[in-house]
Amino acid sequence: MTLPPTSSLKTRIALPADEADVVALRRALVAKLTYAVGKDPLVASNHDWFVATALTVRDRIVDRWFPSTRAIYEQKRKRVYYLSMEFLIGRLLGDSLNNLGLTETMRAALAELGVDLERLRTIEPDAALGNGGLGRLAACFMESMASLSVAAHGYGIRYDHGLFRQYIKDGWQMEAPENWLASGNPWEFERPEVLFHIGFGGHVELVQEGSGAGGYHWRPAETVEALAYDTPVVGWRGKHVNTLRLWSARAPDPLGLEAFNRGDHLGALASQARAQSISQVLYPSDETPAGEELRLRQEYFFSSAALQDIIRRHMEQHDGDVRALNEHVAIQLNDTHPAIAIPELMRLLVDVHGLEWEAAWTITQATFSYTNHTLLPEALEHWGVPLMERLLPRHMQIIYMINALHLDRLRAAGKIEENEVGEVSLIDEQAGRKVRMGWLSFVGAHKVNGVSALHTELMRQTVFSTFNRIYPDRIVNKTNGITFRRWLMEANPGLTRLLAETVGGKVLDDPMALADFAAYADDTGVQDRFAAIRKDHKVALARLISERLHIRVNPDALFDTQIKRIHEYKRQLLNILETIALYDSMRAQPTRSWTPRVKIFAGKAAASYHRAKLIIKLINDVAQVVNSDPTLNGKLKVVFLPNYNVSLAEAIIPASDLSEQISTAGMEASGTGNMKLALNGALTIGTLDGANVEIKQQVGDDNIFIFGMTAAEVEAKRRDGVGARDLVAASPMLSQVLEQVASGVFSPSEPDLYRDLVESLLDHDHFLVLSDFDAYAAAQAQVADRWKDQKAWRRSAILNTAHMGWFSSDRTIREYAREIWDVPVQ
């Protein structure tokens, strides 16, 4: 097998650089460095060059931005607004260059200036304005909407600090603040003139105007300013550019002059700090709403700013006809986080624009749609009525009114029995009175979607079953997707080139053309090139592991990867317990021909999620023992790569052979890492959960390792009781592993560290780690066997890549556009 030189990894698939373009770009770079960065090329640092490069690229994007914006305006196109608390963007330089087709030209221009583009790419900090899947999906959707020329705007929060930086100390996760704006952000435009006032607290007055019925006016006690920052988002081939508008919070009177003059200097600063705190930091927990006031303030802050901006734009463009709003505007709620936008739109329509309630409600419902991203009951947002009344008194009144009319309508139509009222009420009267944001989103939207076929079906059967019976057409499925520009072309230029050479350049524009690659699954030449590309990435990842962790791994070993947030339901614990079992077997039979493996883990745990942090500690403790055991001959290594983020994902994914998607069936709404890994040629070992089910359908049963209980079996098992102790008694391998963990084999200085963890598995194994253990171990044994037949493995890997076209987020966006938003796509 001949390996291509490492440098070919970097060579992208764009057109070769045209000399005239290179000269023009070089001039532009020097001008930016000189006049915008204010540096002499002789003394410029890499960071200076990064800023000059980003600004040069941004200019090219802006050149396309204005025509895009003008065209939408002139054609009076219907606009899509994607409201999301999170946009997990990552770096933008590679993405932008790739989409503009400028990568090679820029590389050449920089090289003439003695600057290495690859070095600059790594200087850019990740924009980590999201926790995980939900935020990354929003970023993929923004890119796809631009690529499909959908007239779309993203709205979110410009957090000063994104998701915390994770580092590991003595095996434990530690959190440090993340500071992505420390050296400025060359991609964004501050818009000091785009500023809205966001109210909080105060009271509601009934105002009698003339002889009319009178109206309600909210008199907030406190006002915060929302200041816009725009980032242009360029689509594939630079055809269209959309805007991501993020809001930053400011106090209207930043000096607090009145308090200051009274001599209350600290008080003056406090009001400023209180306002700014809204956009200071991303909530670093996924799935567990903290129920805190600051979170609700964040949600209302950006939802209100977005709606005020949307209505302003609509009124300017459509002759002040607010009644036509839903004809020109579709608003997608990314989970319930922006659900307060529903009563906010009602308030704006009724209180500010004077519409009658029924007309306003019809417009509101026709405008909004809502995506659900999780069924975990603890993740469903509820806001206490007292907090809502205090912070958003007018919205609370509106929610009561929405609820009363909603329940009246259902009663009048005979759709619910009296004993079902409590269930469908927007107010949960059970444990303290709470507003159910999921219910509010359901009734305020014309379409509600799940993110995979299974998840959507479970939504219909479980959380939203009563609503689904009443409104059978409201729930629809939109299986998630990923943008191939970032997750294939940028992350894996070598594979992209191989694809373009085999199936043709059309694959760059039409992901379904990937299917033609299946014809090469048995072609030895293609298999070898495919393997060589993977090997390059594995060598690069091995180097990264060695640099960061001082662990040597064999690039020819099977790279077995689980990368995602650390969560009990995602079952990193199942993976590490099985790793221990493998370790035990290797030691018991050292002469057997073991498949060499590198177990790669990466992911963050919410800072307050103790169990998840203990699982990280266990992985690191197992790594310590396994990696230093000379009897294994390096056949098994365990690696926990700290600070998982989008950039690290881009390095790990093309180097992974096996993709761990092993959540308890019924609990992972979709997963999108599963798609990224399979697209890059990893085989999946997984449960029938989320989008794994659809991946299996696409790649075929022979090219995926499915194991474990189904969602229905999980439900039945939970109902009937797990009986974990009997199960363990029947499995010698499992009992040995648990005994080792519980007795401190991996934590000799703290032998009892994992005792409770093991006990709780035995007592109430809610995520069915033990129940699925044997099936998982058997599937892993199949994996090891398949690996031994490299031809068969490569064939399967090629077929995985070939059959992933359907998981392009372009397909997902087309479905949203047609079935939910009613907007044209290109």
Active site (catalytic) residues:
373, 564-565, 570, 672, 676
Structure tokens at 593: 């021909």
Asked whether position 374 contacts ligand 26V by CB under 6 A, the answer is yes
Instruction: Name, in order, each residue with C-beta under 8 angstroms of 193's C-beta and a sequence gap of 6 or more.
Output: none
Binding map of ligand 26V across residues 306-335, x = CB under 6 A, - = no contact: -----------------------------x
Say whether 220 sits in a helix, a strand or coil: coil
Asked whether position 283 contacts ligand 26V by CB under 6 A, the answer is yes
Say whether 490 sits in a helix, a strand or coil: helix
Instruction: Give me the amino acid identity at 253.
Output: D
- Binding residue for ligand 26V (CB under 6 A) from 93, 137, 577, 761? 137
- Binding residue for ligand 26V (CB under 6 A) from 311, 329, 451, 495? 451
- Helix (H), strand (E) at residue 210: none
Asked whether position 132 contacts ligand 26V by CB under 6 A, the answer is yes
Mark the segment that binds ligand 26V (CB under 6 A) among 132-140, 428-436, 652-660, 790-798: 132-140
Mark the segment that binds ligand 26V (CB under 6 A) among 99-107, 126-134, 205-213, 245-253: 126-134
> Whole-number minimum distance, CB 285 to ligand 26V, in Å?
5
Cα 188–chain centre separation:
21
Instruction: Determine if residue 450 is left, alpha or beta; phi over 0 gives left, psi from -120 to 50 gives alpha, anything else beta.
Output: beta
Asked whether position 280 contacts ligand 26V by CB under 6 A, the answer is no
- In degrees and rounded to multiples of 5, residue 351 shows phi and psi of -80, -40
Measured between alpha carbons, how far is 39 from 113 in angstroms, rounded to an integer?
14
Measured between alpha carbons, how far is 132 from 689 in angstroms, rounded to an integer?
18
The closest of 97, 429, 329 to 234, measured between CA atoms, is 97
Q: Is the dihedral of CA 605, 770, 691, 680 positive or negative?
A: positive
User: Interaction with ligand 26V in 719-738: which residues (CB under 6 A)?
Assistant: none
Asked whether position 340 contacts ligand 26V by CB under 6 A, the answer is no
Asked whether position 133 contacts ligand 26V by CB under 6 A, the answer is yes
User: Interaction with ligand 26V in 615-654: which residues (CB under 6 A)?
Assistant: none
- In degrees and rounded to multiples of 5, residue 257 shows phi and psi of -55, -40
Closer Cβ to ligand 26V, 175 or 584, answer by number? 175
Mark the segment that binds ligand 26V (CB under 6 A) among 133-141, 301-309, 437-445, 807-815: 133-141
Structure tokens at 135: 């935020």
Measured between alpha carbons, how far is 421 from 403 in angstroms, rounded to an integer?
11
First to last CA, the chain: 43
> Whole-number minimum distance, CB 452 to ligand 26V, in Å?
8
User: In this structure, are residues 56 and 25 in contact, taking their beta carbons and an 8 Å threshold?
Assistant: yes
> Whole-number minimum distance, CB 693 to ligand 26V, in Å?
12
- Binding residue for ligand 26V (CB under 6 A) from 373, 486, 534, 786? 373
- Binding residue for ligand 26V (CB under 6 A) from 51, 108, 233, 379? 379
Structure tokens at 668: 């992972």
Is residue 319 classed exposed, middle or buried when 0-12, 13-18 and 19+ CB atoms within 10 A define those classes? exposed
- Binding residue for ligand 26V (CB under 6 A) from 84, 131, 771, 780? 131
Asked whether position 478 contacts ligand 26V by CB under 6 A, the answer is no
Structure tokens at 107: 């590389």
**Rounded (to 5) percent helix, strand, coil in the chain:** 55, 15, 30
Binding map of ligand 26V across residues 662-701, x = CB under 6 A, - = no contact: ------xxxxx-----------------x-----------
Minimal CB distance residue for ligand 26V: 133
User: Interaction with ligand 26V in 191-250: which residues (CB under 6 A)?
Assistant: none
CA gyration radius for the chain? 27
Closer Cβ to ligand 26V, 274 or 295, answer by number? 295
- Binding residue for ligand 26V (CB under 6 A) from 171, 186, 289, 493? 289
Structure tokens at 121: 């790419």
Closer Cβ to ligand 26V, 294 or 539, answer by number? 294
CA atoms within 13 A on the CB side of 4: 20
Measured between alpha carbons, how far is 31 from 29 in angstroms, rounded to an integer?
5
Closer Cβ to ligand 26V, 140 or 576, answer by number? 140
Mark the segment that binds ligand 26V (CB under 6 A) among 98-106, 178-186, 372-380, 529-537: 372-380
Mark the segment that binds ligand 26V (CB under 6 A) among 129-137, 206-214, 417-425, 471-479: 129-137
> Whole-number minimum distance, CB 666 to ligand 26V, in Å?
11
Q: How many residues bind ligand 26V (CB under 6 A)?
A: 23
- Binding residue for ligand 26V (CB under 6 A) from 48, 160, 287, 815? 287
Q: Which residues pair with 446 in a beta bridge?
A: none
Residues that bind ligand 26V (CB under 6 A): 131-134, 137, 283, 285-287, 289-290, 335, 373-374, 379, 451, 480, 668-672, 690
